[in-house]
Chain A
Amino acid sequence: MKHMKRRPSLVLVRSRLILTVAIAQAAICWLPEISRAEDSSALIWRGFLTTGVSVSDSAQEYRGDINETPNFAKHSKFGLNLNSKISPSIDVAAQMVVDQEALHPDWAFASWYPINSFAIRTGKQKFPIWLMSDRLDVGKTYPWITPPEEVYGQNPIGAISGIGASYNLDLGAIEILSEFIFGAVKETIAGDQSVNGEKLVSKVTADDTIAVNLVVGNEYVKVRAGGASSRRVNSETSLYSLKNITASFWSYGLQVHYHGALVLSEYAVVSSKMDDSEVRKADQSAVDAAARAANSDDELVRMQAQQAMVNALVHNSSIMDGKSFYITGGYQAGDWLPHLTYARLITPDDSIAYGDQYSVTTGLKYDINLGTDLKIEWQRVTPEKGSFGLFVREGFNPTERFEPINIYSVAMDFVF
């Protein structure tokens, strides 16, 4: 689950955080790598932990419950990774993640290598549809505290359950990696809308998802193109359901890491199309709800009518359509990595689901040791064209507007 319905109390989150850090530190101290890795056929475990806090200078809630009250939950994650080589050509691996209140399987799959550079995988798999989307939970593997939400916040596909294959072609100076997966998606996501103080939690399912990824490059430069196409995407919430969406997600990425200089950039496109019969159903539902609301004093009935009308509008537009990009530049000077990011989200003019925004983020990552880093970050988020941006909205008030905000974050990442 990407976000929870209710934010746990500050004291509870702090207690959990302290406990998690203590467990992680104990693991780091008591189980050095050498004792876990002597037998490659044994079950080997490793883990990661991120703990941090974000606060903004505004009461307006930004994505993931960030406002002027310090939020310890958004960046706190603990992951446990298990793997075993059960034969020279077969590996099994699984990862569990605790984020905020929930413990859930992140991924679990078996890999079979019939020949050296070709693998077939089956199970629940993370897939790099976006440049970092297969390791978003592992803060130690990227420079930011929060990867650009304009891009990564638009991809509802966390993992795909199915079968996939990868082929690695080594041409000497250049390597080509091609990956493919076919399967189904089942995710629970807290959206950016809230009703009566509660986030609308959406259960997203998608059958017939096909994803591909192509990476060309070497250890200094990598260029990639990745994407997924999903048919029969359904999104169910307590107030509405969207059915039979056909959606596609594409991105083109660049990664340069040369003599300390770091460039990360990505351009992503999300597009969707609704089934005609669902559009007609939504329109009729809006008419019926409006008729009920006209004869009722009940606030909930009026809200449902408003929602039904919004729903109809949503069905007649492209709910998830948008283009987004970011570019990050940084320089690794010893243990220090200062970086700067510009990110932007552009939605179609007729879309009411998301709004345009851009953000500028500057941060500093300091490697305390091989397995630990400390990050600080300042981000300024600016909604554009008088839109919602990625702010949390109360109800469906189309007149609500948001001002630019500043977000300050500090985090520590561990891998062990």
Chain B
Amino acid sequence: MRAALKQLAGILVAVSWLTSPASAEILIVTNAKNPLATIALDDVRKIYLGKTRTFPDNMSAVPVDQDSSNHAYAEFLTKVIGKSEKEMKAYWSVRIFTGRGTPPSRLESDNDVINWLRKNPEGIGYINASAANESVKVLLRIP
């Protein structure tokens, strides 16, 4: 009986490991016509926290976010912003209700981000690496 329980526990651990979302590479992407070739992680962070309104070359930057249920969103918060979802909500609540800024718009999926960036030369977004295609320019890879 004890051996069977151990086997069952082992199977459950293996299943949970296999089904847990692994840390995936995300890409910082922009419109294909954006002259910028690359961007620093800190610059991306400042754009998404509303601390700057431009790319490093002083061109206007309009960030777009992803829905909070997406895996890319969680990865982006952890790897780029360095804040939890709760901390982000608190940060933007103060800025919104004092009139000092608004959070980036949100889209539902990687494909929505790509489609939006095609139409917005000043846009910047992030997607899972697996969703990338030639219609957007990759500015930064974040493993």
Contact = CB atoms under 8 A, between A and B. Distances in A.
Contacts of B106: 33-34, 37-38
Interface string B42-65: 000010000111100010101000
Interface string A99-132: 0000000010101010011000000011010000
Interface stretch (B2-10, B14-22, B24-32, B82-90): B82-90
A126 B53 contact: no
Contacts of A48: 93, 97
Given A37-B105, A40-B62, A88-B60, A126 B98 contact: yes
Contact of A116 (B58, B90, B104, B122): B58
A241 to B, nearest CB: 33
Interface size class of A (residues with CB under 8 A): 35 or more
B86 A88 contact: no
A304 interface: no
A89 B53 contact: yes
B97 A138 contact: yes
A113 B60 CA distance: 11
A128 B58 CA distance: 30
Contact of A135 (B62, B98, B107): B98
A261 to B, nearest CB: 14
Contacts of B67: 34
A38 B90 CA distance: 21
Best-surrounded residue of B53, B101, B107 (most CB of chain A within 10 A): B53
B78 to A, nearest CB: 15
Contact of B53 (A37, A113, A125): A113
Nearest to A37: B105
Given A116-B53, A168-B51, A134 B98 contact: yes
Contacts of A107: 99
Contacts, number: 78
Interface residues of B, number: 28
A33 B58 CA distance: 29
Given A34-B67, A95-B97, A95-B99, A370 B85 contact: yes
A95 B100 CA distance: 12
A367 interface: yes
A117 B52 contact: yes
Contacts of B60: 88-89
B99 A116 contact: no
Nearest to A179: B100
A126 B94 contact: no
A301 interface: no
Contacts of B90: 140-141
Interface in B113-137: 122
A371 interface: yes
Given A113-B53, A116-B52, A117-B52, A38 B107 contact: yes
Given A88-B122, A140-B93, A83 B102 contact: yes
Interface of B: 46, 51-54, 58, 60, 62, 67, 85-86, 89-90, 93-94, 96-99, 101-108, 122
Given A38-B107, A415-B89, 9 more contacts: A38-B105, A40-B105, A79-B97, A88-B53, A89-B60, A141-B90, A168-B51, A170-B51, A370-B86
23 contacts: A37-B103, A37-B105, A40-B102, A48-B97, A83-B96, A85-B102, A88-B53, A91-B102, A95-B99, A117-B52, A128-B98, A135-B97, A140-B90, A141-B94, A141-B97, A168-B51, A170-B46, A170-B51, A370-B85, A370-B86, A415-B89, A415-B93, A415-B97
